[in-house]
Amino acid sequence: MDQTEAEGRIKYLSEVLDKHNYNYYVLNSPIIDDYTFDQMMDELIRLERNFPELLHPASPSQRVGSDLNSEFKQFPHKYQMLSLSNTYTEEEVKEFDQRVRKLTDEDFEYVCELKFDGTSISLTYENGLLIRAVTRGDGEKGDDVTSNVKTIKSIPLKLKGDFPAEFEIRGEILLPFAVFDAINLEREESGEQPFANVRNAASGTLKLQNSSVVASRKLDAYLYYVLGNNLPDDGHLELLKHAASWGFKISEHTRKCKNVNEIFDFLHEWDIRRKDLPVATDGVVIKINSTRLQQELGFTAKSPRWAIAYKFKAEQVSTVLISVSYQVGRTGAVTPVANLEPVLLSGTVVKRATLHNEDVIRNLDLHIGDVVFVEKGGEIIPKIISVDLSERHPMNERINFISRCPECDTMLVREEGESAYYCPNTKGCPPQLKGKLEHFISRKSMNIDGIGSETIELLFQNNLVRDVADLYELKDKDITNLERLGEKSVSRILESLENSKNVPFERVLFALGIRYVGETVAKTLAREMKSIDRIAASTFVELTEIDEIGGKIAESIISWFKDEDNLKRIERLKKHHLNFETQVESKEGQTEKLKGLSIVISGTFENISREELKTFIELNGGKNVSSISAKTSYLIAGENLGPSKLEKAQKLKIPILSVDELLQLTK
């Protein structure tokens, strides 16, 4: 066979195999047997091996997997990949509906869709070809797992029909129950630990370095969210129907709802029917259908304002409370933990459950030896929800919260307005010191590779590290002879410590472990204040004027910088050249002509996307805000301007500009 004949045969086999993949994995309606399919796949692989110049990246053979994967690289999300706020009651759903209706006076519909219990993925297509698959990661960037995702047969490598030139589609990668059971049986027979649940199994499989093993695991996927410019419809559900015509697997159970009563009907129906599905679900996602209105409503720091997740009531089991132990965290908070007789719950064996704080113990009126009912909060963390009083023995001892730290014997304190007891010995309590070190080295903080909790324990026990600044003063000779640390491990640790000096300021700030300063607050502070010295010198009023910084956070920041030991730590870290200032990169076209202006964008625009417009505003020093208030400087109005925004802008006498008028402001 010459190259021309091979090219024709490869094209034919690719088209036929794509068609049968779609019939089998998306339509669930196979028209040929597995043997015939495998024979055609073998022929295609053989031809591509003999004529490598004819191998196309979207070939069905790419689903077989490869042994050549290197470590995953991180890739930034074009659109932030935020998680949803969770609700657990119908009352909370009503409150969500009321919040939305206060933000807009438009009529709108909701869409209800099953919340699949797997691992989130974002797929990018250009000219009909899958070019990248990225996990959620931290919402701003994730792991590039394209080679593994190509092995999932329900995800098309090449689209059909009339699709946009470039777009992104998001969904959930799943492991069907039948496949999960078969894998676990195989693992048990080979002496391996079975997977705890389908979610962990799907997530773990997607991160395997060997894509041929990923292919063998038979992952599945449902897609549920289309993003991009020039999409063919405004409706979310309508876009999903378009996506189905392009070749994507979309849940057939998604439904429009006009009001909360129709939403409740959907919730009641699927709380029962979901148990018959071949894949795991843990709730329902409720979204506004109009993508234009979604953009109008925008996002909070952590989640969209136009969608929530309703979580189904978790499974409950009963068991016996053996004892209560107490854990001390890096902030000094003391958390009681229930030790239970082992019991199977939602696919995992549960031996411990959180009790949160003293109030929970008191409200439950817990006694040692009680028969208790346990469920998984959000189907993840086990917790005790009630006690079977009919089973209580009269001699069972009541549980009283401890008064002294279980680690350093310091008297515990409980501040007014706080639910937890704290150990105030922040500079001498071992778990607090080790907790601060573990937080500092973690991936979302300084990402110091080669040091984990065991290594921290080893360094701590050998009096080499007590403070995070001590890490940067470690020498080769200090750690080479420590147990479990070989020459390669030591070299890796020292190299990673050196590399961490390039971590941006916002993550260094988060790594310091200031109480209430999480990832989002750290980013906000770094963006607004620019440097650690500026934050240290800030007043309460200056801090609380920053969006998302409330009084509690401001007081914590001020208190932290009043501590001389903290200031000494900063100075020591500065000497090791960590980033304590925001590195401002000069970008082409950057000005400050919109500095101090808060700008709201509403509607759609003919020659520029909303994202491009937001970038332009930020590039010129302006601030994008999602809702109109008395502090708003301008409303930039496009086609289909939201009437509620227009009315509010007119009422507050906010200037309304076109895109051209905005551009004039920067000239």
Q: Which of 11, 73, 94, 115 does the annotation list as catalytic?
A: 115
The angle formed by the CA atoms of residues 629, 624 and 171, to the nearest 5 degrees, is: 115
Task: Output phi, psi for 353, to 5 deg.
Answer: -145, 145
Q: How far, rounded to the nearest angstrom, does the alpha carbon of residue 531 sit from its chain's CA centroid?
A: 27
Long-range contacts of 96-105 (CB under 8 A, 24+ apart): 96/286, 96/308, 97/259, 97/260, 99/305, 100/288, 100/297, 100/305, 100/306, 103/297, 103/305, 103/627, 103/644, 104/293, 104/296, 104/297, 104/642, 104/644, 105/643, 105/644, 105/647
User: Are 626 and 600 in contact, with CB atoms under 8 Å apart?
Assistant: yes
Cα 224 to Cα 226: distance, rounded to the nearest angstrom: 7
For 568, the token pair is 């000494």
| Annotation says 275 is catalytic | no
The angle formed by the CA atoms of residues 173, 175 and 176, to the nearest 5 degrees, is: 125
Q: Which residues contact 431 (CB under 8 A, 6 or more apart)?
A: 327, 328, 329, 330, 407
Q: Which residues contact 600 (CB under 8 A, 6 or more apart)?
A: 624, 625, 626, 627, 628, 632, 634, 635, 636, 645, 649, 654
User: Are 118 and 198 in contact, with CB atoms under 8 Å apart?
Assistant: yes
User: Are 375 and 385 in contact, with CB atoms under 8 Å apart?
Assistant: yes
User: How is residue 230 annotated by DSSP?
Assistant: S
Q: Which residues contact 70 (CB under 8 A, 6 or more apart)?
A: 209
Active site residues: 115
